[in-house]
Amino acid sequence: MKRALRSFLVAVGILAGGLVVLATGVVAALPVIADHVPLRLSRLVVSDGKRQVEMQGMVHVAKPDFYREIASHVAERRREGWLVFYEEVRPDEGSSPSGVADVLRRLGANWNPDSKQHPYEMMAGVIGAGLVLQDNRALLGPPGPDVRNVDVTLSQLLAALPPEEPAGADGDDGEEDTVDLAQVRQQFAALPGWAQRRVQAGVRIMLATTASGTMVRDMLPPALTTLREDKVVKAIRDEPGRNILILYGQVHIDHIRAMLAQADPNWHTVSSTSLRAF
């Protein structure tokens, strides 16, 4: 897993470095290409013939318009009497103050909590200009029994993740096992503007072409995928007869759909649309 995350960030670094000397052909056209390959997130409606479950794919940073549309849709569903399930790994009594940093380190990234900047927010500029961090409080509206966090806690996630590997354990001959997010951000900020725009375009294209497939999910440990998807499916099945709107990471949507259909063949797709995140 560390190798996978590191490879992604190193690829961004290689792209950034390469752009300094290569600004013609496909590289020069990356911003134009990115405009034609937007990140679109699924809005999938499934039914077992008795009720509907609507799953909205989410991403941690996006254009403000995307989140405004989601907030409006959540408010509408709540007025109609739907339940709303959402993802959010929250600290709990068993969590360390450095819990988020511990999770990232096990995945191959260094992040200093003293930076006072969320890691997703820190990397948003590498993706594109004008992106904002997802804010569940703003999306969900006033708390109530119809809005439920269906996710693992931070201590549960840490307990389920593989233990930290010693340096060089994955065959890197002593190579540093983690990537420093602040350093990646600083290196990006040091690039000339034309190079930054092409790096951002390259990253957006990578995200847009992989977000809905299985490649990204297969790279992640079960603690980040199956463990959480099992909780969602159980929560759905524990509320028979209730219509439910689910806000969850794009990478999880199709697997949740497949798990529902596997448990009960009556589940079928009613509609499938998408929203542009950026």
DSSP the chain: -HHHHHHHHHHHHHHHHHHHH--SHHHHTHHHHHHHS--EEEEEEEE-SS-EEEEEEE-SEE-HHHHHHHHHHHHHHHHTT-EEEE---B--TT--TTHHHHHHHHHTEE--GGG-S-HHHHHHHHH-TT-EE--HHHHH-S--TTEEE-S-BHHHHHHHSPPPPPTTTTSSTT----EEHHHHHHHHHTS-HHHHHHHHHHHHHHHHHHTTSSHHHHHS-GGGTHHHHHHHHHHHHTSTT--EEEEEEHHHHHHHHHHHHHH-TT-EEEEEEEEE--
Q: What is the pTM of this model?
A: 0.85
pLDDT in the model for residue 203: 87
- How does pLDDT run across 16-58, given as a tens digit for each residue? 444 444 444 556 677 777 777 889 999 999 999 999 999 999 9
Domain ranges of the chain: 2-276
Tell me the pLDDT tens digit for each residue of 237-270: 999 999 999 999 999 999 999 999 999 999 999 9
Q: Name the average pLDDT for the chain.
A: 85
Q: Return the pLDDT at 177.
A: 65
The yes-or-no verdict on residue 221 having pLDDT over 80 is: yes
pLDDT at 27: 61
